[in-house]
Amino acid sequence: MLPSMQRSASGQGVAYDFGDPTPQQNGSSSQTPQFYSRQPGGSGSWDRSAEVSGNMAGAPVSGNMGGAPSLRARNISATLLGEGDADEPPILEELGINFQHIYAKTLSVLWPRRAKLDQAVINDSDFAGPIMFCLTLGLLLLFKGKVHFGYIYGVFTFGWLGLWAVLNLMSPKGIDIYRTASVMGYCLLPIVLLAALSIPLDLTGTAGLVLVPTAVLWCANAAALFFVVVLEADDRRWLLAYPVVLFYTCFALITIF
C-alpha cells in the first residue's frame, strides 16, 4: 500500500500516512508512524521525524526435523529387485517375472525328469522365458541372413491356439491358455540350440539327420511331461506328445530352410 501524501495549508511539512487516507499535520498526534518530512525552508534536505521500531525477529521458527521420514537413495536395481521400502513389492514381481522360476523351468527342459518337476514352477505361467527364447531364435537365424521373426510369431500363435484346444478336448481337467503358451515357449529351447548349431554346421546334410530329430523329440518329451503333470494324464503322455511333435517340427523346418 502506498502512503497518502498531502501538504497542509499552513505551509508545514508533508506527513506520510500508511493506512489512514485522512491527511495528518506534523503537529497533530497520530497513531500512524511518520517516516520523513520536508523542512519548510525548502533546503532540500530530509530530516527523520519519527523512528520506526518493531520486533523484526518475530516468532521463532521451531520444528522437529527428525520426525520427517528418512529418504533412501534409490536406483534402478533397488526398484526392480525390491530393495526399497518394506511394503513396496519389486516391479519384477508385479510384472510376474521370477528369475528363480525361469532358471528352474529352463533346467527342467534341458533335463526333463518327473521327480524333479516343481508344481509351483509349472503353475507359473510367465512369458519372460518364451519371449526371450523366441527372440534368441530369430536373432540366431538372422546371422544366417534369414529374417524369420514373422514366421516364428505366426507359427507359434497358430500352434499355441490349436494345441490349447486339443489339450482341453483330451483332458477333463483342462489347462488355461497362458500356461499352455508358457510351456510351449520354454520347451522351444532345444530348437534354439539347434539354430545356434546351424550357424557353423550344415543341417541339410548328415549332421541334420541326427540333430534335427533329436531336437524335435527333446522338445516334445519335455513339453509332454509338463502337460502330463498339469493335466494329471500319465496314461496319455505319448498321445499328448503327438501334436507337440508336429508343432516343434515346424520350427525345425524354419531353422533348416
pLDDT at 76: 57
CA atoms of 78 and 239, how far apart (whole Å): 47
Domains of the chain by residue range: 11-43, 101-256
User: What global pTM score does this model have?
Assistant: 0.66
Question: What is the average per-residue pLDDT within 100-119?
Answer: 87
pLDDT digits (tens, 9 = 90+) for 201-211: 999 989 999 99
DSSP E strands: which ranges in the chain?
Answer: 4-7, 14-17, 36-38, 46-48
- Taking 60 as the threshold, does the pLDDT of residue 185 lie above it? yes
Query: Taking residues 147-169, what's their average pLDDT?
Result: 95
**Most confident among 12-16, 39-43, 75-79, 231-235 (mean pLDDT):** 231-235
pLDDT of residue 65: 52
**Residue 154's pLDDT band (cuts 50, 70, 90):** very high
Closest CA to 215 of 185, 255, 167, 182: 255
Structure confidence at residue 10 (pLDDT): 47
Q: How far apart are CA 77 and CA 166, in angstroms?
A: 42
